Amino acid sequence: GQSLEQPSEVTAVEGAIVQINCTYQTSGFYGLSWYQQHDGGAPTFLSYNALDGLEETGRFSSFLSRSDSYGYLLLQELQMKDSASYFCAVRGNQGGKLIFGQGTELSVKP
Amino acid sequence: GAGVSQTPSNKVTEKGKYVELRCDPISGHTALYWYRQSLGQGPEFLIYFQGTGAADDSGLPNDRFFAVRPEGSVSTLKIQRTERGDSAVYLCASSLTTNREQYFGPGTRLTVT
């Protein structure tokens, strides 16, 4: 089968750094994406890794290790508005179909 | 420019009825995807289109579900003989091509009573 594992909940304080891990087991792999979703909102694209290494976009960074079937999202200088659900998603074939994890609910406390 | 739009935003229907959910992708995006999201879960892939053709419909749960994209832009997801288990948020996404990031619409919340 195909599965992605990520923690269900993470809590951190404003200004801190938090890392959300994702391990995957899929029949094909063409890249790992991260999406943010606020309550009642649409998933919003954050980052994409097709190759091993770190991608940095402002306060957010994403890392991929294909040999370990593992990636993470790093959020720095946390703000209250970062409280949301974060999903990792694997692109399993050339067609763009995304397989999502169950999501990590991030709560940022003052 | 405008993002992905979906109508209606909410749909309540009775068990056994037929529903249509509409998606307007971002102009110029050739790939269009439908996902379904239940509470507390990640989006679950249903079907995607490249242009007018359904390139992968492996996620459609059964033959009560059908989707079309006749002119390569707007898409309609059709559900026949709705069941209570079909209740979920139906999300549409589009991308410039299949290997680019997907932009999601706000979804249609379907409730089957």
Specify the pLDDT at position B12. 98
Nearest-neighbour CA in chain B from A17: distance (Å): 24
Task: Assign B107 to helix, strand or coil.
Answer: coil
Distance of CA B15 to the CA centre of its chain: 19
pLDDT in tens, B80-110: 999 999 999 999 999 998 888 999 999 999 9
pLDDT in tens, B27-40: 999 999 999 999 99
On whether any CB of chain B is under 8 Å from the CB of A2, the answer is: no
Specify the pLDDT at position B41. 95
Specify the pLDDT at position A1. 66
CB A102 within 8 A of CB A7: no
Q: How many CB atoms lie within 10 A of CB A14?
A: 12
Specify the pLDDT at position A28. 86
What residues of chain A score a pLDDT lower than 70? 1
Specify the pLDDT at position A49. 95
pLDDT of B1 strictly over 70: no
Q: How many CB atoms lie within 10 A of CB B83?
A: 13
Specify the pLDDT at position B85. 97
pLDDT in tens, B42-92: 999 999 999 999 999 999 999 999 999 999 999 999 999 999 999 999 999
Q: Which of B101, B103, B108, B109 to mutate to test the interface with A (most CBs of A within 10 A)?
A: B101
Nearest-neighbour CA in chain B from A26: distance (Å): 14
Contacts of B19 (CB under 8 A, 6+ apart): B11, B13, B78, B79, B82, B110
